[in-house]
Structure 1
Amino acid sequence: MSATLGAMAAFPAKAETAGLDPYFKELADPSEQGWSRAEADIRRAWSRSGSATMDLLLKRGESALDEGDTDAAIEHFTALTDHAPDFAEGWNGRATAYFMAGLYGPAASDIAHVLKLEPRHWGALAGLGAMLEEMGDEKRALEAYQASFALNPHQQDVKDAIARLDKAHRGTAL
Structure 2
Amino acid sequence: MSAMRIFLTLILALTVPATAALSQATQPAPQPETASLTTPQQRLDALFLDLKKERDENKARELADRIRLEWQESGSATVNLLMQSADKAITDDKKPVALDILDQVIALAPNYVEGWNRRATLHFQMGNYRKSMSDINRVLAIEPRHFGAIAGMATMLEAAGKNELAMRAWQQFLDVYPSDRKAQEQFGELAEKLAGSRT
Which bin holds the TM-score, normalised by the shorter protein? 0.7 to 0.9
C-alpha separation in 2, matches of 1:65 and 1:156: 28
Alignment pair present for 1:16 and 2:40:
yes
Contact 2:44-2:67 within 8 A present in 1 as well:
yes
The alignment's C-alpha RMSD in Å is 2.3
What does residue range 16-165 of structure 1 map to in structure 2 within 5 Å?
A: 16-32=40-56, 34-165=59-190
* Residues paired across the two proteins, number: 160
Structure 2 residues not aligned, in runs of 5+? 1-38
The answer to whether the 8 A contact 2:55-2:178 is kept is no
Against the structure 1 CA distance between its residues 173 and 36, is the aligned structure 2 distance closer, same or farther, given a 3 Å change threshold?
same
What is the identity, as a one-letter code, of the residue corresponding to 2:49?
K
Indicate if the aligned counterparts of 1:16 and 1:50 stay in contact, CA closer than 8 A: no
Indicate the structure whose relative CO is greater, using CA pairs within 8 Å and at least 6 residues apart: 2
CA contact (8 A) 1:98 1:107 kept: yes
Code of the residue aligned with 2:172 in structure 1: it is A
Which structure 1 segments of 5+ residues have no match?
1-14
Aligned position for 2:6: none
1:8 corresponds to which residue?
none
Percent identity among equivalent residues? Answer: 32
Matches of 2:143 and 2:68, distance apart in 1: 12
Task: Using the TM superposition, give the Cα deviation of residue 155 of structure 1 relative to its aligned residue in structure 2, in angstroms.
Answer: 2.7
Name the CA distance, whole Å, in 2 between partners of 1:116 and 1:47. 17
The 3 A distance-change label for structure 1 pair 66 and 136 is farther
Higher deviation after alignment, 21-30 or 97-106: 21-30
